[in-house]
Amino acid sequence: MADRTTARQQRNDERRRRILAAARERADADGWAAVTTRHLSDAIGYTQPVLYGHFPGGKSEIMLAVALEGFVDLTRRCRAAPGGKRGRPAIEAVAVAYLDFGSEHPAVYEAMFQQPIDARFAQDDTRSELRAGFEALADVLGDDGGGTVTEVFWSALHGLSLLERAGRVRPEHRSHRVAELGARFATDPTP
């Protein structure tokens, strides 16, 4: 009996992964407006009721799942980015990791920060994936205060990410912008 339960759970997990992968792929190619339950059910080869069996909330629940996976990935990248560096070099490495994530995964980034998802930020009930992302930024800054410094850093990164993706800033000056962030947010201003 346990083997059947495990096999069923593995099939369900695989279907769920396929649904999320199909949603990300379609959103990356054509935007979130193009992601529909009909498209997703066709893409994975299952009926819409099967899709709703995994995601009863439909598209909004799928976007939330994609966003939460995105926070896990972004947090992992930001934690790994310093590679043993501290201070300004670490801040700059995290800034690059954040900006690279936004440019490499535009649909995921959009789900995380621009689409209406059922996730509250900066509240007592904030999901652990969101908290971990914020803490990764706070740790590199050494922000052990109320989080305001981290919020300003995050806001700067978010603004730069959106401006880069929209082609509103000079791509060849990214390293200068990142250096400016490092200089402004490092407690020890020396590189």
For 12-27, what is the mean pLDDT? 92
Q: Per-residue pLDDT for 30 more than 70? A: yes
Q: Per-residue pLDDT for 189 more than 60? A: no
pLDDT score, position 190: 55
- Dist. CA 107–CA 66, nearest whole Å: 9
Contacts 24+ apart (CB under 8 A), 22-29: 23/62, 23/63, 23/66, 24/66, 24/105, 24/107, 24/108, 27/66, 27/107, 27/108, 27/110, 27/111, 28/105, 28/106, 28/107
Instruction: Please state which of the four CATH numbers 1.25.40, 1.10.10, 1.10.760, 3.90.79 is assigned to the domain occupying 1-56.
Output: 1.10.10
pTM: 0.89
Contacts of 21 (CB under 8 A, 6+ apart): none
pLDDT score, position 1: 58
- DSSP assignments along 89-123, one per residue: HHHHHHHHHHHHHHHH-HHHHHHHHTS--S--SSS
Which superfamily is assigned to 60-191 in CATH?
Tetracycline Repressor, domain 2 (1.10.357.10)
For 56-65, what is the mean pLDDT? 93
pLDDT averaged over the chain?
92
Could you tell me the residue ranges of all domains in the chain? 1-56, 60-191
DSSP structure class, residue 168: -
- Dist. CA 125–CA 23, nearest whole Å: 27
Write out pLDDT tens, residues 128-183.
999 999 999 999 999 987 899 999 999 999 999 999 999 999 999 999 999 999 99
Residues 95 and 181 sit within 8 Å (Cβ to Cβ): yes
